[in-house]
Homo-oligomer: A and B are copies of this chain.
Amino acid sequence: MTATFDLDSLRLTADGLIPAIAQAETGEVLMMAWMNRASIEETLATGQVTYWSRSRQALWRKGETSGHVQRLIEFRVDCDRDCLLLIVDQTGPACHTNRRSCFYTAVREGEEVELMAPEA
């Protein structure tokens, strides 16, 4: 059973945003960023992931300058329709620190542990 996806069904914040989790096909969670309606439309239309940069208040075509693009493999919505999960094919590191994932810091017994180093 399928139904046509309606962007209006998403529950955006007062600022018109929705969190989007990017996950590699291997299962690794790469990053979390925000999308707005325009970035979702562009992502679905082009297959290249585009976020909304809250700091720059502009569309953020992931990898546009770095080359570290994300090709959309699957677009998922959660039960409450207030969070997105993007399965992506990540070129290069996802993180601006040049690490594969932004979640490279673990907290173990109150201490921070670095899980991965920047890529060469």
A94's closest neighbor in chain B, by CB? B79
Indicate if the CB atoms of A102 and B79 lie closer than 8 Å: yes
The distance in angstroms between the C-alpha atoms of A83 and B103, with both chains bound, is 9
Contacting residue for A21 out of B4, B21, B106, B110, CB 8 A: B21
Give chain A interface residues in 79-119, CB to chain B under 8 Å: 79-80, 83, 85, 95-97, 99, 102-108, 110-115
The distance in angstroms between the C-alpha atoms of A96 and B3, with both chains bound, is 21
Indicate if the CB atoms of B31 and A78 lie closer than 8 Å: yes
Whole-angstrom distance between the Cβ of A112 and the nearest chain B Cβ:
5
The distance in angstroms between the C-alpha atoms of A101 and B113, with both chains bound, is 28
The distance in angstroms between the C-alpha atoms of A104 and B4, with both chains bound, is 15
A19 at the interface (CB under 8 A from B): yes
Q: What does the 1/0 interface line of A1-40 toward B look like (CB < 8 Å)?
A: 1111100000000000001010100111101100000000
